[in-house]
Amino acid sequence: MERLARRKIRVFYYATSFLAMLALAVALSVPYFISVRKQFDAMVAESKARIFGEKKDALAERVERVIAEIGVIRETVFTEYQTLAEAQCSLLSTLKMKTPDIISSFDPKVTKRTTRFVLHNTGIGLAVYNREKQKILWTDEEALVPKLLEAFKHAQQGPSEEFPVWAVGNLADNNLIVIFAIEDALNEIAKKRSIAIVRSLRFPLNQYVWINGIRNYSGGPGYAVRVVHPSMTGDEEVLLSTETADPAGNLSYKEELEGVLKHGSIYFSYVFKKLNSDELSEKLAYARLYKPFDWVVCTGIHTDDMLGIVAKRETDFNNAFKKQVSSYARLIFIISLLYIGMILIFERRLTSMINLFIDKLMEDETALREEKNKLDYAYQELQRVAYSDFLTGLVNRRAMYERLEQEVSRAQREDLNFCVILADIDHFKSINDTYGHDTGDRVLKAIAGIFSQHIRAEDSASRWGGEEFLILTPSLRLDEGLVLAERLREAVEKTTIYDGDITINTTVTLGVVAYSQGKTFDSLIKEADFYLYAGKKLQRNCVMSSASSA
């Protein structure tokens, strides 16, 4: 008994010593590891913020430099043309030319020369003025006569806000010769020089500068024109719309316009393809308004390019952290070797505890999996509601927009055909007014069912809005699309719709348009809408397209 008691005491002693040592090791190491981890995490976060901040500052600095250079170009053009104008005036005065000489040399209605004088451009010209009669005897810019008379009336001798270029000389017959230019003409010259420079600029990580020219500060379709875009050289001079969304649904043009109008400049993010690639990724952009040209000068960097730099810095920090952990772990391991015998004594107990822990983990994992399945189902339901029209069961406008955009992109890449059919129920308002909206909803459901039954498996039908339906037919040419549209029209015409005791026969008018290279999904919808309402105006219950009525 005594031996057994001693053994128990010995076991209790060693166990207590081991646990005390283990508790001390944990008490010292855990706070240390937590503190070091927090420090490294803070350093990583600070480094990431600093990198992003530096990149944002670099974007802003780049745009500021480009705008400053554009401003210098503009000032240079103003100075250059003023100098040339003064030299030309001085030359004409030195040559003792008279008014008839000027007209015979520079008037395109009189001169036999095939070229104008060196400075000539729209808004830049010559004028001969008689001081005694206070009358302009001749000018090659007749549209500017009222403004010129006002300038002569105030005895303008040099550049002004109205005429930034203004040089005066005396002719031999005592008349004044003036070479002038308005601001818009000089700006156009400066714009051309600036565009050539901006188009050639390139920066690390495939960065570049692009410019949008504002046409309407109120926004909307055609609010701006793409002036320069190295990634879209084939689409320069294309009109832009604040209603255009990127693949992620961001209205980047709208955000850009509102930002520069409110603050003069803005940082914003959107999804865009990389330079010389079709790969899409998030892009951080900086835009600033250059008011003299109504230009929005922009530059940007793809976020994943910045994340690569951040990831390298984070890897360096993690390696340093692992080294510290490794050093401390070796110390703990050396101490633990002194107590390895104690671990063998408690092996069976520890094994049992571990098994219980694993069983608990498995139970928790099962519970988490069940919760995940519930969340997945809820997400699927949410996605179905977000992309379906609750009344007809067809896909909604948002889902069809995405499918149509994808089909346009696929057709552009692979040179494929497809058609868009836009259908509208004839006299639907009369149905609603006569029988009520419940019956109108019954008609919408019935026609949606007819369309679903008569289109192909690869086709998509959607409720586009109100009583309008849009059908996307991949791989169909225009003649095939017209056949399908006519089949849908006949099916609706031959179908009687019942709603209780109410019997309704209705018809639809359809507009059909085929895709061709260069068309966007917005232009396809506008064209289909045009043919649809042409059919409405013509007779209703018909199919209209560029190939005439079917």
The two tokens of residue 485 are: 């549209």
Share of the chain above pLDDT 70, in %: 87
Band (pLDDT 50/70/90 cuts) for residue 52 is confident
Share of the chain above pLDDT 90, in %: 49
Q: How many CB atoms lie within 10 A of CB 359?
A: 10
pLDDT at position 480 over 50: yes
How far is CA 418 from its chain centroid? 25
Angle 389-391-395 from CA coordinates, rounded to 5°: 25
* Phi, psi for residue 46 in degrees, rounded to 5: -65, -40
For residues 212 and 198, what is the distance between their CA atoms, to the nearest angstrom?
12
For residues 166 and 314, what is the distance between their CA atoms, to the nearest angstrom?
62
For residues 6 and 27, what is the distance between their CA atoms, to the nearest angstrom?
31
Averaged pLDDT score across all residues of the chain: 85
Instruction: Identify the burial level of 504 via C-beta atoms within 10 angstroms of its C-beta, where 0-12 means exposed, 13-18 middle and 19 or more buried.
Output: middle
Residues whose CB falls within 8 Å of the CB of residue 414, separated by 6 or more in sequence, listed in order = none
Amino acid (1-letter code) at residue 48: K
Amino acid (1-letter code) at residue 404: L
What order do you get walking across the sheet with 135-139 strand by strand? 135-139, 124-130, 176-181, 165-170
For residues 474 and 7, what is the distance between their CA atoms, to the nearest angstrom?
85
**Which residues, listed in sequence order, are joined to residue 214 by a DSSP beta bridge?**
224
pLDDT at position 5 over 70: no
Give per-residue pLDDT as tens, 154-193. 888 889 999 999 999 998 888 999 999 999 999 999 999 9
| Contact criterion met (CB below 8 Å) for 144 and 184 | no
Domain boundaries, the chain: 88-186, 397-544
Predicted local distance difference test score (pLDDT) of residue 235: 72
**Which residues, listed in sequence order, are joined to residue 544 by a DSSP beta bridge?**
511
Q: How many CB atoms lie within 10 A of CB 455?
A: 18
Look at 7 and 232; give whichever has higher pLDDT.
232
Mean per-residue pLDDT, 438-447: 94
Q: How many CB atoms lie within 10 A of CB 415?
A: 8
Where are the alpha helices (H) located in 222-346, listed in sequence order?
252-263, 303-337, 340-345
What order do you get walking across the sheet with 265-273 strand by strand? 239-241, 221-228, 209-214, 295-302, 280-290, 265-273
The two tokens of residue 297 are: 């000068």
Residues whose CB falls within 8 Å of the CB of residue 49, separated by 6 or more in sequence, listed in order = none
Band (pLDDT 50/70/90 cuts) for residue 520 is confident
Give per-residue pLDDT as tens, 60-104. 999 999 999 999 999 999 999 999 999 988 888 888 888 888 888
The two tokens of residue 195 are: 């565009």
Instruction: Identify the burial level of 394 via C-beta atoms within 10 angstroms of its C-beta, where 0-12 means exposed, 13-18 middle and 19 or more buried.
Output: buried
Amino acid (1-letter code) at residue 110: V
For residues 90 and 103, what is the distance between their CA atoms, to the nearest angstrom?
17
Q: Does domain 397-544 have CATH number 2.60.40.10?
A: no
What DSSP designation does 109 have?
T
Q: How many CB atoms lie within 10 A of CB 390?
A: 8
Look at 318 and 189; give whichever has higher pLDDT.
189
Give per-residue pLDDT as tens, 363-422. 777 777 877 777 766 566 566 666 788 899 899 999 999 999 999 999 999 989 999 999
For residues 274 and 231, what is the distance between their CA atoms, to the nearest angstrom?
8
Closest by CA to 166, choosing from 157, 174, 175, is 157
Instruction: Identify the burial level of 245 via C-beta atoms within 10 angstroms of its C-beta, where 0-12 means exposed, 13-18 middle and 19 or more buried.
Output: middle
Predicted local distance difference test score (pLDDT) of residue 540: 93
* Phi, psi for residue 297 in degrees, rounded to 5: -90, 125
What DSSP designation does 161 have?
S
Give per-residue pLDDT as tens, 351-370. 666 567 667 777 777 777 87
The two tokens of residue 377 are: 């189902």
Closest by CA to 404, choosing from 476, 477, 460, 450, is 460
For residues 322 and 328, what is the distance between their CA atoms, to the nearest angstrom?
10
Closest by CA to 125, choosing from 140, 137, 112, is 140
Band (pLDDT 50/70/90 cuts) for residue 550 is very low
